[in-house]
Amino acid sequence: METLYSNRPAAHRRCLPAHPFLSARHTVKFVPDIKPGQSPELLKALHILTRDGKLNQDSRRKLKQVYHLYHFIEPLLAEVLETNGTLTLADHGAGKSYLGFILYDLFLKPRAAGEVWGIEARAELVEKSRALAEALGFSRMRFLDLTVAEAIGHPALPQRFDIVTALHACDTATDDAIDFALAKRARHIVLVPCCQAEVASVLRRHKNASLSATALAELWRHPLHTREFGSHVTNVLRCLRLESHGYRVTVTELVGWEHSMKNELIIATHAGAPRGNARARSEAILEALQLQELRPRFID
């Protein structure tokens, strides 16, 4: 087991299940200081640093989250680059491209190979990201104003991506990012799911029938529980879908719950052989919870 938050009291530590590219040297510590080699101009442009180079409490929290995610992704980048000599990474629902810029600045900037593609539906954010990348000389960053679904078959994108990330991609955009990753035969997939209302809405619609059929429906009888249970079921089905395509999946916390309630981190690495019963388990869950109408979303 890999211990996270190693500078916390023992009673408050969390453990990360073993993952082939998260070795002991990648144990994550909460260190909010600016990393060596980090571009101050980038951090100022992202409004993480003030104009005089200082961190306020909000930007310290934001930087801590991005650095924490970087520690999970950095060994994946290193593995792909060592194996292939180059890498392509797609960041879906990129927003202001905090993650893409940090990955490029800390990992790709000192290296001669590797590209980061930011996919974001809001054209004004894409233009700002392009301008910032040009100003900083980050020549191997690309940005497209597309939805995640539109990106799957877009001719401007490479046919293959090594790593696909989606950080807080809202509603079904995380599922679209999984579609994209599978279509592009990604080696690694890193997801921090956001709200997804589909499952909860179907649970809500069939609640009376479910309560009559099984006592387990008490798990989602109250509206708050419906939302939270629906979110949990959604992510379980996402993991099973990835396992059915031959991915080894690790699920853990991104940061402490005091920072964000959307805190689940899913890391998937293609291992070749699909989990034999993953598809059947998905079918059973959909049937047991009366979610069969969502079969096209979670079962290929």
Tell me whether strands 247-253 and 264-270 are parallel, antiparallel or unpaired.
antiparallel
pLDDT in tens, 179-232: 999 999 999 999 999 877 899 999 999 999 999 999 999 999 999 999 999 999
**Are residues 187 and 43 both part of a single domain?**
yes
**Of 237, 250, 210, which Cα lies nearest the Cα of 19?**
250
DSSP state at residue 30: -
pLDDT above 80 for 278: yes
Cα 186 versus chain centre, distance? 13
pLDDT tens for each residue of 253-271: 886 544 455 678 999 999 9
Separation between Cα atoms, residue 92 and residue 15, nearest integer Å: 27
The verdict on 160 and 132 lying in the same domain is yes
* Residue 139 and residue 168 in one domain: yes
- Structural domain contains residue 252: no
Q: Give the pLDDT score at 168.
A: 80
Strand 264-270 versus strand 115-119 pairing type: unpaired
CA distances from 70 to 131, 146, 263, 275 (A): 23, 24, 15, 28
Residue-wise pLDDT tens digits, 75-100: 999 999 999 999 999 999 898 898 99
93 lies in the same domain as 164: yes
Asked whether the beta carbons of 163 and 77 are under 8 A apart, the reply is: yes
Other Cβ atoms closer than 10 A to 229: 19
Question: Could you tell me if residue 18 is inside a domain?
Answer: no
State how far Cα 254 lies from the chain centre. 9
Q: Are residues 190 and 288 in the same domain?
A: no
Q: How crowded is residue 163: how many other Cβ atoms within 10 Å of its Cβ?
A: 24
Does the pLDDT of residue 297 top 80, yes or no? yes
% pLDDT > 70, the chain: 86
Amino acid, single-letter form, for residue 157:
L
> What CATH number is associated with residue 115?
3.40.50.150
Number of domains in the chain: 2
Q: Is residue 110 part of a domain?
A: yes
User: Which of 171, 194, 217 delimits the end of a domain?
Assistant: 194
Residue 241's domain spans which residues? 197-246+276-300
Which amino acid is residue 223, in one-letter code? Answer: P
User: Is residue 208 assigned to a domain?
Assistant: yes
User: What is the pTM assigned to this prediction?
Assistant: 0.85
Q: Does residue 285 sit in the same domain as residue 137? A: no
pLDDT, residue 25, reads 40
For residue 6, what pLDDT is reported?
Answer: 34
